[in-house]
């Protein structure tokens, strides 16, 4: 029974695996190979040079936009996680409210571009926020800095990725039994105390995962900075996208994409390291999920 079962399994998995190898693994490898090629006047030539990487690393522009992307990413992902935790906590431990869950899903499935557009109309000089502020007498003239600033980019990215982050938090909190939280509360812990001393250490891996996924999405999002960031909001993503769409220097764009990937890994390791150093992340006990 067992052996043919596994062979059958392999056979059934084959189409999906083959598809992902052909259209995900192979393209990623080609992109990696491209990053060592050279480009001259819109022609791309096979080569083996490190100049795409070296030139990027030596370019002040690359560092400016990358630091911008990292800052926007860290700030946005942190705020997103901080907002996602109370909602996740509420959904897992207080009330499994279907209404709230579906409201979150509706925002998650509402169009990405529509949400960028929404913030554009909200934050513009003749936008809703400014007209409200003027009519309330808080400001006399429209505040121009709302739009085309890091603030605009950050608030829009939070809005776009918060539903996704909430769902990740819900799934990581679901692994921690309510009894554990109740026990902590019975022993006199405050709700915040229970969160930091019981939930956070147990859910640390899931929460770090939620933070990192949000960071990667946010730091790699180039449409929002392009639409709302003005000149101050340029990020690596936009730089990379422009190499493929405008400049035509694909090898350089490929190298920068892999550098961005490397940056994400460094950030991930730093977050884990920071968590271990502060004691918020404890090594996973192997017995925890053994029963599943």
Residues of span 113-142 touching other proteins by CB under 8 A: 113-122, 124, 126-128, 130-132, 135
Instruction: Record the tokens describing residue 252, joined without a space.
Output: 């350089």
| Contact indicator for 193, 184 with CB cutoff of 8 Å | yes
From the list 14-22, 49-57, 200-208, 275-283, the region that binds other proteins by CB under 8 A is 14-22
From the list 50-58, 181-189, 253-261, 273-281, the region that binds other proteins by CB under 8 A is 253-261
Nearer to other proteins, 258 or 281 (CB): 258
The residue among 232, 248, 75 whose CA lies nearest residue 147 is 232
Which residue in 104, 165, 228, 252 binds other proteins (CB under 8 A)?
Answer: 104
Which residue in 213, 271, 272, 280 binds other proteins (CB under 8 A)?
Answer: 213
Which residue in 17, 145, 180, 183 binds other proteins (CB under 8 A)?
Answer: 17
Alpha-carbon dihedral 10, 16, 17, 22, rounded to 10 degrees? 150
- If one asks whether residue 241 binds other proteins (CB under 8 A), the answer comes out as yes
Q: How far apart are CA 234 and CA 223, in angstroms?
A: 10
Phi/psi of residue 43, nearest 5 degrees: -110, 140
Q: How far apart are CA 62 and CA 56, in angstroms?
A: 6
3-state SS class at 219:
helix
Instruction: Record the tokens describing residue 114, joined without a space.
Output: 């529509």
Least spacing, CB of residue 279 vs other proteins, in Å: 25
Nearer to other proteins, 124 or 275 (CB): 124
172-201 footprint of other proteins as x/- string (CB under 8 A): -------------------x----------
Which residue in 64, 71, 74, 90 binds other proteins (CB under 8 A)?
Answer: 90
Least spacing, CB of residue 11 vs other proteins, in Å: 8
Nearer to other proteins, 15 or 286 (CB): 15
- If one asks whether residue 21 binds other proteins (CB under 8 A), the answer comes out as yes
Which residue in 40, 41, 48, 111 binds other proteins (CB under 8 A)?
Answer: 111
Non-local CB neighbours of 238 within 8 Å, separated by 6+ positions: 65, 222, 225, 226
Least spacing, CB of residue 136 vs other proteins, in Å: 11
Distances (CA, A) of 255 to 30, 65, 164, 233: 12, 15, 29, 21
50-79 footprint of other proteins as x/- string (CB under 8 A): ------------------------------
Q: How far apart are CA 78 and CA 274, in angstroms?
A: 14
From the list 182-190, 196-204, 234-242, 271-279, the region that binds other proteins by CB under 8 A is 234-242
Which residue in 222, 252, 255, 275 binds other proteins (CB under 8 A)?
Answer: 222
CB-count exposure of residue 225 (10 Å: 0-12, 13-18, 19+): buried
CB-count exposure of residue 170 (10 Å: 0-12, 13-18, 19+): buried
Q: How far apart are CA 156 and CA 118, in angstroms?
A: 9
Least spacing, CB of residue 51 vs other proteins, in Å: 18
Nearer to other proteins, 201 or 248 (CB): 248
């Amino acid at each position: 029974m067992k052996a043919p079962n596994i062979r059958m399994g392999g056979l059934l998995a084959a189409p999906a695996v083959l598809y992902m190898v052909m259209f995900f693994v192979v393209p990623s490898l080609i992109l990696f190979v491209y990053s060592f090629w050279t480009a001259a006047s819109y022609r791309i030539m096979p080569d083996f040079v490190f100049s795409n990487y070296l030139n990027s690393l030596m370019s002040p522009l690359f560092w400016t936009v990358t630091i911008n992307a990292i800052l926007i990413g860290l700030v946005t992902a942190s705020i997103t996680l901080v907002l996602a935790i109370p909602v996740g906590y509420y959904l897992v431990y207080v009330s499994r409210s279907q209404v709230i869950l579906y409201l979150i899903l509706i925002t998650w499935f509402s169009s990405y571009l529509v949400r960028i557009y929404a913030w554009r109309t909200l934050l513009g000089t003749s936008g809703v926020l400014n007209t409200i502020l003027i009519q309330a007498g808080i400001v006399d003239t429209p505040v121009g800095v709302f739009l085309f600033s890091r603030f605009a980019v950050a608030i829009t990215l939070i809005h776009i990725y918060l539903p996704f982050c909430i769902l990740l938090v819900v799934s990581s909190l679901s692994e921690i039994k309510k009894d554990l939280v109740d026990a902590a509360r019975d022993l006199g812990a405050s709700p915040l105390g229970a969160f930091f001393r019981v939930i956070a250490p147990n859910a640390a891996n899931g929460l770090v995962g939620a933070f990192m996924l949000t960071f990667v999405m946010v730091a790699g999002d180039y449409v929002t900075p392009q639409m709302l960031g003005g000149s101050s909001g340029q990020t690596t993503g936009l730089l990379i996208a422009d190499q493929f769409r405008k400049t035509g220097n694909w090898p350089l764009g490929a190298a920068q994409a892999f550098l961005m990937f490397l940056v994400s890994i460094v950030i991930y390791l730093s977050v884990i390291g920071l968590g271990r150093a502060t004691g918020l992340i404890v090594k996973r006990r192997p017995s925890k999920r053994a029963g599943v």
